[in-house]
Structure 1
Amino acid sequence: MKILVVDDMPLMRHVLINMLRKLNYHDIVEATDGIQALSLLQNQGYDLVITDLHMPKMDGKTLLNRIRDDQELAEIPVLMITCEDSSTAIKEIIAAKVSGFIVKPFNLNVLDSQLKKVMKLES
């Protein structure tokens, strides 16, 4: 499974990639923001996008909307990671057809559980 990890913070990408590797996911590509992620998505095939919500240039919600609006990309599962606790913001992301949601801070078990739910929904 090829996974695109999108986060503007190098440390967060590093932590997430290490967690994914512990869960035996090894085909992982990084992007620093939604613009770079969209470019990668349009040029390569991915099975899953894991993105932060708050990023400069293009945030996770805009990236999610762009993915869902693109016929070629619309079916890719998107797992959103955020420290957002506003119910309004969370409802907007759910309405935008996010596949799964993780609130920071989280651990390996939470990530594993969400990945299993998201991949089950897609199969």
Structure 2
Amino acid sequence: MSVPKKIAILVVDDQQPMRKTIAYILRQLGIKDIQFAEDGDAAWKHINETRVDLVLLDWNMPRLSGLSLLERIRKSETFAKLPVIMVTAEANTDHVLTAMQAGVTDYVVKPFSPNTLLKKLEDVCAHSPSLIKLSVG
């Protein structure tokens, strides 16, 4: 399954060059609805105000970390099933396990290739009922 072109992706990273890089890759995949937040607080506000189908989330950010935002999303009745891919430089096993226990949908380690991100997006889209509906509709 490919990534639905109608998908709305929120890229959450405190580093503007990384947000731009991810956006560039997503645009190459034909995705037009790319939204941005520079920390977990801004992302949480955005998720509550705008349609977001999937979150690409950095771990290390000021104010509210990616892990804290993930935990907040999973505890929320409204957004508990929102697919979240952690995109982070945190590659050690403890971090991956912590993110898995917190309910992350998938995990990408920086630096990554466009192909790696595409594969993760395809995997998540194939297994998330809300994203499967976007492909058909």
TM category, shorter: over 0.9
C-alpha RMSD of the superposition: 0.7
Aligned to 2:93: 87
Select the residue among 5, 14, 34 that pairs with 2:11.
5
Tell me the matched-pair count.
Answer: 123
Q: C-alpha distance in 2, partners of 1:85/1:41?
A: 26
User: What amino acid maps onto 1:89 in structure 2?
Assistant: H
Task: Tell me if 1:54 matches 2:82.
Answer: no
Mind listing any 5+ residue stretches in structure 1 that lack a counterpart?
none
Q: C-alpha distance in 1, partners of 2:122/2:110?
A: 18
User: What amino acid maps onto 1:9 in structure 2?
Assistant: Q
TM-score, with length taken from structure 2: 0.88
Aligned to 1:120: 126
CA deviation digits over 1:84-121, x for unaligned, max 9? Answer: 12211110100111011100110110000000011111
User: What amino acid maps onto 1:77 in structure 2?
Assistant: P
User: What amino acid maps onto 2:10 in structure 1?
Assistant: L
4+ residue segments displaced more than 4 Å: none
Task: Tell me if 1:72 matches 2:78.
Answer: yes
Aligned to 1:36: 42
Q: Once the two structures are aligned, what percentage of the paired residues are identical?
A: 37
Aligned to 2:31: 25
Structure 1 residue matching 2:82: 3-state secondary structure: coil
Aligned to 2:133: none
TM-score, with length taken from structure 1: 0.97
